[in-house]
Structure 1
């Protein structure tokens, strides 16, 4: 464990993998779980002053960044269990879970599996399950071709296809602007696990109204009002109708890459939800 400028970094053995994390601050615990494809989606949000009043924990999930890559398949429930174990190992029994895209779905699964560990959910554009009418087009033009390219060994081409379909044509410029010129190399590294394992887990994940109504944590569901695809908005809206008492929020001026597009707005939204 290392502490620098009030930021503590470390790794935790959660059983089948070791997870890398960093944290800062004191107060109510908040967990940031990054979206698929890149372990640094929440990096700019982590530093936002709107979250200075909480104990903020940002993890890199199995297969990403400084965390180890598992030997076998990892389900959404497994990812949620990893996060829950890490929190417990650093002394946190209950936290607000903030998930983005596939990790929003993982956080939702975590709240179903272990409601005692989840104080509140803030879910930023969960992965498209349940699928709305736009999901079919997204699969045809982006997800399907990306998975095919990954199976053929072209991880870079697969990543570019997927990211353009989900985040729009300027996604690479946004990543470089927010995270530095070498960030794309790190993203392409992380995308291998996403495209070869996590996409499968997303397709396997079971969610319907009978499952969603079991969520007892107060839930805020968020979508961007300027997306490259409407698929995530459709899913977010459907989940908001299923989860008891859920709040639905449209974040202006952003799409699926909202944590990089406007990290200050995302941080303010999380703080307000608490």
Structure 2
């Protein structure tokens, strides 16, 4: 399901042009896309969310319509970029929602800037366990740039995209995400995009899997409302990582959506928007206390809170 097209705006930060979409009015929701995607991954839910919230959906540096320079593509660097974007837009605080790699950026943003984070929602997020699709691990291997350069030559690329889109329409849960993969594959025709994505992946993944993890800092979420949403049929990052989140952050609410893959916000956009609204409606924004944060850092995890509820939503 696709949403309506949204006007793309631009701002230049540190000499690099950043693209973003802004829609709606009300409390701010910052939507962070995954690896190789852009703001359009959120198109099916932007309009629904914009009925109640100010939605900011950027193309992160190296993605979409944003510049793709030689730059800092670390998770921390992306978190800094999101802080600077919000600052330029005159936004002090936001509920931050991150999908896949964007979930890792969302976690880092909440860690670096707790005073600017009202809530945290992770959608099929990285950073909750080592396992990840072999296709993502392959990006770190020597020769990826050259091989992908051949595979994205015009004739080959068109055949590859058509094949993936045809398989995505098949009644098979293993191929449901291939329409989104086709768009990521198409973006690799730009050598600057390939370089950027390779730098991003090398910062968070090696051949053994994910390197970056929230495990050592999950106790900090005791001070912040947190939700985790996953598709039961995710073939990119295993759905069992949702249970990892429940163990690492016992105060988090965790919801697993049946008949959904790695992009649950696209598979079930109305349901996803309802989950977001219920999360925001039923929680108070985090109130940052420097003293409390200092004590948490000094003492580490002092105890275990109530066990998170892992909810499997009924199929549509």
Q: Per the alignment, do residues 209 and 228 of structure 1 end up closer, same or farther by CA in structure 2, a change over 3 Å counting?
A: closer
Which secondary structure does the structure 1 equivalent of 2:239 belong to?
helix
Distance, in Å, in 2 between the alignment partners of 1:191 and 1:270 is 31
Distance, in Å, in 2 between the alignment partners of 1:218 and 1:91 is 23
Could you tell me the TM-score, scaled by structure 1's length? 0.79
Distance, in Å, in 2 between the alignment partners of 1:251 and 1:34 is 19
In structure 1, the residue matched to 2:85 is 86
Gaps (5+ residues) in structure 1? Answer: 177-181
* 1:32–1:42 Cα contact (<8 Å) kept: yes
Cα offset, 1:188, TM superposition: 5.2
| Residue pairs, 1:13-92, within 5 angstroms | 13-15=12-14, 17-39=16-38, 40-47=40-47, 49-92=48-91
Distance, in Å, in 1 between the alignment partners of 2:275 and 2:188 is 26
Which secondary structure does the structure 1 equivalent of 2:275 belong to?
helix
Cα offset, 1:122, TM superposition: 1.0
Which secondary structure does the structure 2 equivalent of 1:19 belong to?
strand
* 1:221–1:248 Cα contact (<8 Å) kept: yes
Distance, in Å, in 2 between the alignment partners of 1:54 and 1:150 is 40
2:257 corresponds to 1:251: yes
* 1:214-267 alpha-carbon deviations (Å, 9 max, x no partner): 2332100111112225x4323232123212511111122101022322222222
* 1:5-54 alpha-carbon deviations (Å, 9 max, x no partner): 9x66422233263311111111100011111111122122212x254111
Question: CA RMSD, aligned part only?
Answer: 3.2
Which is further off, 21-30 or 148-157? 148-157
Could you tell me the TM-score, scaled by structure 2's length? 0.70
* 1:35–1:103 Cα contact (<8 Å) kept: yes
In structure 1, the residue matched to 2:286 is none
Q: Per the alignment, do residues 236 and 260 of structure 1 end up closer, same or farther by CA in structure 2, a change over 3 Å counting?
A: same
Bigger Rg, which one: 2
| Residue pairs, 1:135-214, within 5 angstroms | 135=131, 138=132, 141-148=134-141, 150-154=144-148, 157=151, 168-173=174-179, 185-186=186-187, 189=190, 192-193=194-195, 195-203=197-205, 206-214=212-220
How many aligned positions are there? 253
